[in-house]
Amino acid sequence: MEAIRKQASRFREQVARQQQAVLKQFGAGGYGGSDNLITDEAELQQHQKLEKLYISTRTAKHFQRDIVRGVEGYIITGSKQVEIGVLVKHLLT
């Protein structure tokens, strides 16, 4: 179970690094702001692709976070069941 948790954590960190790299490279903070005017069709298309990539990356990050939470819940439930089993065994002996 710990291996699953570590792998999920690595995925989460990887997505965060990728997202930051995209934002840093393309300056996503001011999509089409006054200092970053979109001047031609090619740049507009690149901007739209970047925006889709950013949204997709953010969605993937949230999805992975939900998976991690689900796995953690599963681990906690399993751990509690083991604890209950140990207590019951102890009480019966």
Q: pLDDT tens digit string along 17-75?
A: 887 887 777 665 544 444 455 567 878 888 888 888 889 888 988 998 899 999 999 89
Asked if the model's pLDDT at residue 1 lies above 80, the reply is: no
Does the pTM exceed 0.85?
Answer: no
Q: What pLDDT sits at residue 38?
A: 54
Cβ distance 23 to 54 under 8 Å?
yes
Q: pLDDT tens digit string along 62-80?
A: 998 899 999 999 899 988 9
Asked if the model's pLDDT at residue 87 lies above 70, the reply is: yes
Helices (DSSP H) in the chain: which residue ranges? Answer: 2-26, 41-92
Q: Name the CA radius of gyration of the chain, rounded.
A: 22
